Amino acid sequence: MNEFFKAVRDFITNYLPKQKCCSSHTIRSYKMTLNLLVTFLREKKHLSLKDINFDILNREVIFSFLEWLEVERKCSAVSRNVRLAALRSFFNHAGLIDCVNAELSLIVAKIPIKRQPSKMVDFLSEAALETLLKQPNLSEKVGLRNGFFMMLMYDTAARCDELLRLRLCDMQAEGKQPVVYLTGKGSKTRVVPLMPRTVEHYRRYLSCFHKDACMTDTDFIFYTVIHHKRNAMSPDTPALFMRQYGNSARLECREFPARMHPHVLRHTRAIHLYRNGVPLELLSQFLGHSSVETTRIYAFADTEMKRKAIEKADKFLQISKSSDFPIWKDDEEMILKLSGLK
């Protein structure tokens, strides 16, 4: 292998997992970026693998690669920026290995992030949420599982994959303060309190899905049985049943959004907490965000709070307009005092 592919191997197998302690999702994304770069150099620059090295990479090639992502692969600005971030990390690492490559790191660092279009946050009103949670038939085994999954997701504002990775030992439902330990991005663990209603449904769920004596604390809470073996439930499963419940809830509730997917429940919980006065800093910790700036999207999205603020201002203006003439209007002595002349 030449120096480029040696740097790639060290970046993927050593630097990201061992030094940066990146999650498997981040490593997979960065690996995909480098695979795409190699594909671009082979298909568009007609280079063989042995010809791909740092000396053929420059500002023009990197710009061409980013343009190829957008034009031919139809990547959005968000995806393009993710790929650029991966390249920056890789070339920074390559520059540390060999200072000759430091110039590439500076070149990539100066490539601007593309402005991303603002994205609307989908969430459910209280009426829509109530309608959704009524859709599963809790007297049936599958309905009980689906209903508890949605309730737990809303209660904890967890990401879908965070719930799918939950094991029995992560749920501490006994005692005065029931909590769940969620492991999010970057393998960061946060402790989230559980509401009494959720704990009650959890116990019902356990009595149906985890009643076997052979179950251990390391077993997945949500699982599917394949070839007589219990595995973590696939993300496709909650995506499917939430879409189905969303379609039926839409027939009952006019406020229900056009598209229902698991992340909507996380957005919904965040919006509801923010409306009830939870500060953005605390909400950021609750959601497992690395920065409070990420959480500000909920402040921007909450049109209901904006509407109430406008109504308050409008009422104040109406009161001001309807009030009587000021008491000093025909009092010349008071006018002189107020103006400082007396």
At 317 the pLDDT is 52
pTM listed for this prediction = 0.70
The domains of the chain, with CATH numbers, are 3-109 (1.10.150), 126-301 (1.10.443.10)
Sign of CA dihedral 75, 80, 86, 88: positive
pLDDT given for residue 237 in this prediction = 96
For 153-170, the pLDDT digits (tens) are: 999 999 999 999 999 999
41 versus 318: the higher-pLDDT residue is 41
CA distance 110 to 272: 40
The yes-or-no verdict on residue 330 having pLDDT over 80 is no
CA distances from 314 to 14, 303, 306, 319, 326 (A): 60, 16, 12, 9, 21
Confidence of residue 44 (pLDDT cuts 50, 70, 90): very high
Q: What is the pLDDT of residue 111?
A: 92
pLDDT tens, residue by residue, 276-295 = 889 989 999 999 988 888 88
How far apart are the two ends of the chain, measured CA to CA in Å?
92
**Residue 29 phi, psi dihedral angles, 5° rounding:** -65, -45
Q: Of 164, 139, 137, 134, which is closest to residue 149 (Cα–Cα)?
A: 164
Least confidently predicted of 26-35, 209-218, 330-339: 330-339
User: Poorest-confidence range of 18-22, 84-88, 233-237, 252-256?
Assistant: 18-22
Average pLDDT over residues 333-340: 63
pLDDT at 305: 61
The tens digit of pLDDT for each residue in 178-212 reads 999 999 887 889 999 999 999 999 999 999 999 87
Write the pLDDT tens digit of every residue in 92-122. Answer: 999 998 887 888 889 999 999 888 766 678 8
Summarised one tens digit per residue, pLDDT across range 119-138 is 678 899 999 999 999 999 99
Contact 217/169 with Cβ under 8 angstroms? yes
Residues 129-138 as b or e (16 or more Cβ within 10 Å = b): bebbbebbee
DSSP 73: S
Average pLDDT, rounded, for the chain: 88
